[in-house]
């Protein structure tokens, strides 16, 4: 599989007099042709800075960004031929023009004639369900519609890579769901490579193949979405019981578990155990059988990406697979 986007040891420093902020600190990852890749991180993590470095809007101090092999430092013009971007605030839309006029205008400034984009425009209007709004001034459309127009504009020039900074920010649940569906179909049907930034785990979970999680300018996790969920869901069980755990049970379990939490309740208590392997649960059972507690239930705990994300931020460890 071809790595159409290669980011290696990227560093971005903002400075102004005595103010110095390293917003991007030694970031490396690659994006394959046709995949949807996520940049996930809390506010201020450095996602927008990375996207701006990739699309040539920001110079960077260290490392490099290769777009289809072209360095955005030394061959920016060539690299830009493969990239379109939708940044926060939808700066690629003219609010006083209609949807149709915007699509014509932005293809025009990219050197494409109206006749050459005719079919593609119809395809995108239909794909984005914007036919009814095509003659409306963008300013009068809802936020979700405006976002759809912005993404349609980024696709009209048919470039290989689409960078999207927070594509679902501020959208209501229904529109956010529609946007995720749209992104998946754009990648699948058009073979586009999409790099998106978000702090919404649901967006990553539903759309992305792989992701990096960024915190304070650094990568803290790098994996496929499904692998990350499997690895971090590694055998966590919630055991509800009645009684008090004695010293011998506690010390026996502590020798086996990765982590053990006890939540005492009035009528029953719970222990959350993290195991290296599921088979270790049998050893825990054997110990519980000998102890003066009564087992009520055992449930496997599954974490969604949000839980994993929050745990990673808490531990600030690093998990890198590719």
Ligand X SMILES: Nc1ncnc2c1ncn2[C@@H]1O[C@H](COP(=O)(O)OP(=O)(O)OP(=O)(O)O)[C@@H](O)[C@H]1O
Q: Do 236 and 273 form a contact (C-beta atoms < 8 A)?
A: yes
Residue 82 to residue 71: CA distance in whole angstroms: 12
Choice from 31, 37, 46, 236 touching ligand X (CB under 6 A) = 46
Interface mask (CB under 6 A) for ligand X, residues 180-209, using x and -?
-------------------x----------
Q: Which residues contact 68 (CB under 8 A, 6 or more apart)?
A: 4, 78, 79, 82, 160
1-20 positions binding ligand X, by CB under 6 A: 14
Choice from 7, 10, 47, 154 touching ligand X (CB under 6 A) = 47
Q: Do 157 and 130 form a contact (C-beta atoms < 8 A)?
A: no
Q: Do 51 and 58 form a contact (C-beta atoms < 8 A)?
A: no
Residue 242 to residue 228: CA distance in whole angstroms: 34
38 sits near ligand X (criterion: CB under 6 A): no
CB 44 to ligand X: min, Å: 4
CB-based burial, 309-319: b 16+ in 10 Å, e otherwise: beebbeeeeeb
Query: Which CB atom, from 89 or from 191, has the smaller least distance to ligand X?
Result: 89
41 sits near ligand X (criterion: CB under 6 A): yes
Contacting range for ligand X; rule: CB under 6 A; set: 41-49, 179-187, 288-296, 303-311: 41-49
Choice from 4, 29, 36, 49 touching ligand X (CB under 6 A) = 49
Choice from 1, 17, 18, 43 touching ligand X (CB under 6 A) = 43
Strand partners, 86: 164
Give the residues lining the site for ligand X (CB under 6 A). Answer: 14, 21, 23, 41, 43-49, 199
């Amino acid at each position: 599989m071809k790595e159409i986007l290669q980011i290696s040891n990227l560093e971005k420093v903002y400075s102004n007099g005595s103010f110095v902020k390293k917003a991007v600190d030694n970031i490396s990852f690659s994006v394959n042709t046709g995949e949807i890749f996520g940049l996930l991180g809390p506010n201020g993590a450095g996602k927008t800075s990375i996207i701006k470095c990739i699309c040539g809007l920001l110079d960077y101090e260290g490392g490099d960004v290769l777009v289809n092999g072209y360095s955005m430092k030394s061959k920016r013009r060539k690299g830009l031929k493969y990239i379109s971007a939708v940044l926060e605030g939808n700066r690629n839309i003219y609010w006083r023009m209609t949807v149709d006029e915007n699509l014509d205008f932005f293809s025009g400034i990219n050197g494409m004639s109206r006749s050459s984009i005719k079919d593609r425009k119809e395809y995108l209007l239909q794909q984005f369900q914007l036919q009814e709004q095509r003659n409306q001034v963008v300013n009068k459309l809802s936020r979700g519609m405006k976002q759809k127009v912005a993404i349609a504009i980024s696709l009209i020039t048919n470039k290989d890579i689409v960078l999207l900074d927070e594509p679902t920010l501020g959208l209501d649940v229904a529109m956010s769901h529609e946007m995720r569906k749209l992104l998946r179909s754009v990648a699948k049907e058009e073979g586009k490579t999409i790099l998106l930034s978000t702090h919404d785990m649901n967006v990553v979970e539903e759309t992305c193949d792989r992701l990096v999680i960024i915190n304070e300018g650094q990568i803290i996790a790098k994996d496929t979405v499904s692998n990350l969920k499997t690895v971090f869901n590694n055998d966590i069980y919630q055991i509800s019981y009645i009684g008090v755990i004695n010293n011998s049970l506690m010390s026996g379990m502590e020798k086996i578990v990765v982590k053990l939490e006890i939540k005492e309740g009035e009528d029953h208590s719970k222990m959350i155990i993290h195991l290296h392997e599921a088979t270790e649960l049998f050893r825990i059972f054997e110990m519980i059988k000998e102890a003066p507690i009564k087992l009520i239930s055992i449930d496997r705990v599954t974490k969604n990406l949000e839980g994993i994300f929050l745990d990673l931020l808490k531990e600030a460890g690093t998990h890198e697979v590719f």
